[in-house]
């Protein structure tokens, strides 16, 4: 179904002690779409992503990821979601191949050797498969991390600031790859601080103080905020939120 929702959650809430860091977040993302997740540092993006992939239990809220209940089916969600953490999550002191092989074992990928070979070919890293991951450039590390989180053929990708600190050319190539994956029907929720990346998303969710302040296409958000561009729209939204929430 083209209009099937890969992410469909309402009222998602997480408290750490007395602080509500994610506050009644609603998010709907249709299958095969790329949704950008933006907001200042500390606004609750990573916490939201962790609730969506079943790593954190929400204190309130309900809904589904890939049709699976986020409260009760987190184990199944984890098997079908690829999660790329904010910091390089692989082992610097293992080779490229060893890293991929390790992740494939974790996910009990059938026919592991073929999967890892395929990933190395797609990455263009067959010649360098014995090289230690720690010796790769930032852009290559990110490509390797993306390949690792695709090994178990997830249907939903949750990418947490995947291109932070990556040079512009590598970022562009990374985004070309994200679009190829979406064209294959994979849904992507990706957090970023880069405006050029935001404009390559089908929809944007802007969050601050744990609350969704805007949702829509870049053009809709700019128009609603009465701003000249996306960056100005976000600055306005945060300014209004500061007045309301602080
Ligand atoms: N495990 C935790 N315990 C306590 N506070 C946390 C924990 N994880 C995140 N926080 C706090 O929750 C807020 C939101 O964090 P986070 O979701 O990482 O935001 P973002 O990814 O948007 O930068 C921050 O103030 C952060 O310090
Ligand atoms: Mg974060």
Closest among 194, 158, 169 to 34, alpha carbons compared? 158
Q: Is the pLDDT of residue 2 over 90?
A: no
Ligand 1 and 47: CB distance under 6 A: yes
What percentage of residues in the chain have a pLDDT greater than 90? 90
Cα 103 to Cα 245: distance, rounded to the nearest angstrom: 42
Cα 59 to Cα 22: distance, rounded to the nearest angstrom: 10
Q: Is the pLDDT of residue 246 over 70?
A: no
Query: In Å, how far are 78, 121, 123 from 233, measured between CA atoms?
Result: 34, 41, 37
Q: 57-69, pLDDT tens digit by residue?
A: 999 999 999 999 9
Q: Which atom of ligand 1 is nearest to the CA of 210?
A: 14
Ligand nearest to the CA of 160: 2
**Res 56: pLDDT:** 94
Cβ neighbours of 194 (radius 10 Å): 17
Q: Is the pLDDT of residue 4 over 80?
A: yes
Q: Is the pLDDT of residue 1 over 60?
A: no
What does the pLDDT average to over 141-146? 93
Q: Which atom of ligand 1 is nearest to the CA of 47?
A: 17
Q: 177-188, pLDDT tens digit by residue?
A: 999 999 999 999
**Res 241: pLDDT:** 85
The residue whose C-alpha atom lies closest to atom 18 belonging to ligand 1 is 46
The residue whose C-alpha atom lies closest to atom 25 belonging to ligand 1 is 42
Q: Which atom of ligand 1 is nearest to the CA of 40?
A: 22
Cα 65 to Cα 74: distance, rounded to the nearest angstrom: 9
* 43 Cα to the center of ligand 2, angstroms: 8
Q: Could you tell me whether strands 211-216 and 203-208 are parallel, antiparallel, or unpaired per DSSP bridges? A: antiparallel
Q: 191-222, pLDDT tens digit by residue?
A: 999 999 999 999 999 999 999 999 999 999 99
Q: Which atom of ligand 1 is nearest to the CA of 160?
A: 21
**Res 11: pLDDT:** 98
* Burial class of residue 2 (count of CB atoms within 10 Å of its CB; 0-12, 13-18, 19+): exposed
Ligand 1 and 210: CB distance under 6 A: no
Q: 21-75, pLDDT tens digit by residue?
A: 999 999 999 999 999 999 999 999 999 999 999 999 999 999 999 999 999 999 9
Which stretch of DSSP H or E encloses residue 97?
Answer: helix 96-106
Query: In Å, how far are 102, 150, 176 from 203, measured between CA atoms?
Result: 34, 22, 17
User: Hey, what domains does the chain have and what are their CATH numbers?
Assistant: 5-245 (3.40.50.300)
């Amino acid at each position: 179904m083209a209009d099937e929702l890969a992410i469909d959650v309402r009222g998602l809430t997480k408290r750490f002690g007395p602080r509500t860091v994610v506050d009644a977040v609603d998010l709907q993302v249709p299958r095969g779409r790329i949704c950008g997740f933006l907001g200042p540092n500390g606004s609750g993006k990573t916490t939201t992503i962790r609730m969506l992939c079943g790593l954190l239990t929400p204190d309130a809220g309900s809904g589904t990821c890939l049709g699976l209940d986020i409260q009760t089916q987190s184990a199944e969600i984890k098997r079908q979601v690829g999660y790329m953490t904010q910091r390089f999550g692989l082992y610097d002191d293992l080779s490229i191949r060893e890293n991929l092989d390790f992740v494939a074992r974790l996910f009990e990928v059938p026919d592991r050797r073929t999967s890892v070979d395929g990933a190395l070919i797609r990455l263009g890293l067959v010649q360098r498969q014995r090289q230690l991951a720690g010796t790769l450039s930032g852009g290559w590390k990110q490509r390797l991390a993306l390949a690792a989180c695709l090994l178990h053929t997830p249907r939903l990708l949750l990418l947490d600031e995947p291109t932070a600190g990556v040079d512009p050319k590598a970022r562009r190539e990374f985004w070309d790859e994200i679009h190829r994956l979406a064209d294959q029907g994979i849904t992507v929720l990706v957090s970023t601080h880069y405006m050029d990346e935001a404009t390559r998303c089908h929809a944007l969710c802007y969050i601050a103080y744990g609350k969704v302040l805007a949702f829509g296409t870049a053009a809709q958000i700019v128009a609603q905020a009465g701003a000249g561009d996306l960056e100005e729209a976000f600055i306005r939204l945060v300014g209004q939120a500061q007045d309301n929430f602080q």
